[in-house]
Amino acid sequence: MNSKNLRSKNENSKVTPPKKTKAKKNKPTIAITIGDPAGIGPEITLRAISSPKVLRMARPLVIGDLKLLNRIAKKLFLPLPSPSMVVNISNIKGLKAGRPTRESSVAMIDYITEAVTCVLAGKASAVVTAPINKESAKLGGFKFPGHTEYLAHLTKAKNFVMMLSGSSLKVSLVTIHEPIKKVPSLLTQGKILKTIEISNEALKKYFGIKKPRIAVCGLNPHAGETHGGGSMGEEERKIIEPAVDKARIQGIDANGPLPPDTLFYQAVRQEAFDLVVCMYHDQGLIPLKLLHFEDGVNTTLGLPIIRTSPDHGTAYPIAWKGSASANSMIAALLQAAEMAK
């Protein structure tokens, strides 16, 4: 990785938003990575940093490759990024859309490292990360399951939670990028309780919810028929329910384990809960993406920094074609700016 060598060249980078934009006072500077250079990350970043909504709320500081951004901007007839908005830490040559290389894979990791460094050094208030492809990242020596785990490593955070959110639903995950067959063995009372605690604190601190109402999913169908002797599984009675009880003893308004097949209806249609704690990745992401495929935001809770991300992937087939939606990226930037306040 070469971010350390290049960092000194960009220490004085400042952001100068367009004069015509009516800006709010004390706008936070948001470090934005362009993600996988071969994916849609550069395009959605370019679209997001030219959004009037974003520029009213934040000062974008793009971590990436200035020549590549200019190349894509010209190709798609998008506004060219101001050099003062970009911390240029790579110069990828010969890259083609949808075809990552080892050089681009190393760069996408460097972008993340540099963005976190900027926040920890006080040069930015939050990090927004454009999507990476985990398999492509391995070409550059990436050894982590995903963004979330790498950010926890960089910030030395021991307890962290992935939260996905939209206007009508928020979900937090107890386990993240794990095979389904491993999930039951990974669930512990402590891990579930910590997910509830971190989610509860974030809702109060960043989202202004004084008394969060948190629902906790069961793992098995019908939540294991918990009250009928656990005929469909023992995890609810032995692990999940005790964790919920401990959270309630702390004064947290937690409810569960509840059957997921009806829980999301209660959370969304009846507005009975502010957040749903899910046992595994797809249990939470399927309903979230059904409702917020284009504007969902991924937030990492429990870090010493604020980090959000669009809730989608690199979309190689449509990279650099001008058809990628920046809605989720814009939503991630706006949420990061709100959280930073």
Q: Is the pLDDT of residue 228 over 80?
A: no
d(CA 201, CA 214): 11
- pLDDT tens digits for range 31-43: 999 999 999 999 9
Higher-confidence position of 234 and 229: 234
> What is the domain range of residue 151?
1-157+303-341
Half-sphere exposure of 271 (CA within 13 A, CB side): 2
pLDDT confidence bin for 3, thresholds 50/70/90: very low
Q: Sorting pLDDT into bands at 50, 70 and 90, what band is 227? A: very low
Please check the confidence at residue 24 and state whether its pLDDT lies above 60. no
Number of domains in the chain: 2
Q: Does position 330 have pLDDT exceeding 90, yes or no?
A: yes
305-323 residue pLDDT tens: 999 999 899 999 999 999 9
- If asked whether residues 307 and 166 sit together in one domain, one would say no
Quick one: 213 and 255 in the same domain? yes
Using the predicted structure, report yes or no on whether residue 80 has a pLDDT greater than 90: yes
Tell me which of 300, 315, 330 is where a domain ends: 300
Q: Judge if 293 and 316 occupy the same domain.
A: no
In the block, tokens 């940093």 appear at 49
Shared domain for 263 and 316, answered yes or no, is no
Task: Look up the CATH number of the domain holding residue 86.
Answer: 3.40.718.10
Q: Is the pLDDT of residue 294 over 80?
A: yes
Give the residue from 60, 62, 61, 59 showing the smallest Cα distance to 25. Answer: 59
Same domain, 256 and 295: yes
- pLDDT band for 30, please (50, 70, 90 cuts): very high
Average pLDDT for residues 93-100, to the nearest whole number?
A: 96
Question: Quick one: pLDDT at residue 324?
Answer: 96
Tell me the per-residue pLDDT of 129-182, one tens digit each, with 9 for 90 and over.
999 998 999 998 999 988 888 999 999 999 999 999 999 999 999 999 899 999
Mean of pLDDT values over 322-327: 96
- 307 lies in the same domain as 228: no
Same domain, 308 and 276: no
The stretch 216-222 carries a mean pLDDT of: 93
If you average pLDDT over residues 313-339, what whole number do you get? 96
Please provide the average confidence, as pLDDT, over all residues in the chain.
90
Give the tens place of pLDDT for each residue, 177-207.
Answer: 899 999 999 999 999 999 999 999 999 999 9
Model confidence at 13: pLDDT above 70: no
Global pTM reads 0.87
Residues 51 and 148 in one domain: yes
Strand 297-301 vs strand 275-278: parallel, antiparallel, or unpaired?
unpaired
Q: pLDDT band for 232, please (50, 70, 90 cuts).
A: confident
Q: Are strands 297-301 and 307-310 parallel, antiparallel or unpaired?
A: antiparallel
pLDDT band at 25, cuts 50/70/90? low
Q: What is the DSSP string of 98-140?
A: TB--HHHHHHHHHHHHHHHHHHHTTS-SEEEE----HHHHGGG
191 and 268 belong to one structural domain: yes
Shared domain for 188 and 271, answered yes or no, is yes
How large is the angle between the packed helices 260-268 and 281-292, nearest 10 degrees? 40
Task: Provide CB contacts within 8 A for 244, sequence distance 6+.
Answer: 192, 196, 216, 254, 255, 256, 257
Determine the pLDDT at residue 146: 84
pLDDT of residue 12: 35
Cα angle value 258/270/331 (rounded, 5°)? 95
Residue with tokens 């669009």: 310
Q: What is the pLDDT of residue 9?
A: 33
Do 172 and 288 lie in one domain? The reply is yes
Same domain, residue pair 332 and 190: no
